[in-house]
Amino acid sequence: MTDLIRLTACDAVDLLKSGEVSAKEMIAAAFDRIEAVDGTVNAMVIRCRDRAEAQAETADRDSLLAGLPVGIKDLTELAGVRCTYGSPIFKDFVPDFTDIPAANLEANGAIPIGKTNTPEFGAGANTFNAVFGITRNPWDISKSCAGSSGGSAVALATGQCWLASGSDLGGSLRTPASFCGVVGLRPGPGRVPRLNPGDPFGSMSVEGPMGRTVEDTALMLDAMAGRDPRDPISQPAPDRPFRDTCRLTPPPKRIAYSLDLGGIIPVDPQVRAVFEAALATLADMGVDLVETCPDFSRAIETFGVLRGLGFVNGHRDKYADPAQRALLKDDVIWNIEFGQRLTADAIAEAQRNRGALYMEMVSLLTAQGFDAFVCPTAIVPPYPAEQLWVDTVNGVRFDNYIHWLAMVSAITLTGMPAVSVPAGFTPEGLPIGIQFVGGPRGEGRLLGHARHFETAVGLSTGLPIDPRGSV
């Protein structure tokens, strides 16, 4: 059982398909590991073993994932499984439906074994809530695992599952991946269909895969993607599977890069050191590196406006109900109230700014001939778990909890797929990732370029780990 948790998802699926291991054995291995480590890190906060074992009885070895156990972020509904959204308002909610990303995973042979922790409604880059408490970083349990897909990142890093789902508005897949030493892909809008009746044409928030390796993440994307009529912006799956494209894409030849997105955000010296080492690795691979980037000068303001608009859309009914409002955390209330103060002119200007940024990134990654754009994922290494958010870097103070996320939220605005890949460690042994950004609808090629970098740095064999440190 110990050996099974150390398999990559791709290797585990191969064993499942060959019949050398059964879905029941994989489930048993996962729950043995959960019992061994999750009391320390608090990642797999809701478990559905009976449901998983029932699914294992009929697992299809010929399906894409062949009965592989996976974790599902607790913002995504699974029929018959408690779904809290990290909020005391929904602490006892059990949906009777499954959202599309999880349904696609199940249809492709995945077996959900539990729900992973998230901040309330995904609001926050530190994974804690009033229902389940803090999820801790396994590399040092006194540190944050980031958010909002922190539970999924920690479950992967500690070997509780082989793949896990996430979602990403302003970095919720990518920042936890960086903090926990795993891979997190923010696909382009519409690549992974989802139910979003309040904003079905919205393109800021997306669902996506997380894995221990780039190829594992590509495999999971194959199991999540596809056209669904309930999502009006969803896209058909590509003719060639993402995993195949990932494996067959040649190394990148020309990459644009920026340490700080043109100076819009400060970067901790430890992150700078790992990023510069990553650039050296790319140079050793024969990549032509050019320091350039689109004009991100208005990205922080633009993202704040569009995020505020989204929070009004998604949560104004809770805010209007005094009983529910009393249970909302301050960050959610702040987002809603900020959104309610927006003017039509401010919203229109933000949309124009986003459109201009999109066109600049398209030009960079098509007309100018760059294979990818690279920047850090997070501007700091993992910080103390009890700290709500990063308020100061290099003497620069931030006045709200989303400002420090500009490195990822600015990339969200471009609409391009982006993946965080482990790049190195601080002197204290804390992971740091870098972010590869690809062209429109270019997830497979992006993953291929990231895989070549992953191979060059050689960090993917270090997982899973046992939780380290003390509180």
Residues annotated catalytic, as ranges: 73, 148, 172
CA distance 321 to 236: 39
**Inter-residue contact 439 to 445 (CB < 8 Å):** yes
Residue 267 Cα to chain centre, angstroms: 21
Closest CA to 118 of 71, 188, 62: 71
CA end-to-end span of the chain: 29
Are the CB atoms for 144 and 41 separated by under 8 Å?
no
Helix, strand or coil, per DSSP, at residue 210: strand
Helix (H, G, I), strand (E, B) or coil at 71: strand
Helix (H) or strand (E) holding 214: helix 214-224
d(CA 350, CA 362) in angstroms, rounded, equals 18
Strands 183-186 and 418-425: antiparallel
CB 156 within 8 A of CB 180: yes
Cα separation of 282 and 288, whole Å?
A: 8
Do residues 100 and 78 touch, judged by C-beta distance below 8 A? no
To which H or E segment does residue 114 belong? strand 111-116
SS3 98: coil
| CA pair distance 328, 367, nearest whole angstrom | 46
Distance of CA 29 to the CA centre of its chain: 24
Edge-to-edge strands of the sheet including 372-376? 44-47, 111-116, 69-73, 163-168, 206-211, 183-186, 418-425, 431-437, 372-376, 254-257, 288-291
Q: Is there a contact between 295 and 263 (Cβ–Cβ < 8 Å)? A: no
Identify the residue whose tokens are 């669902």. Answer: 207
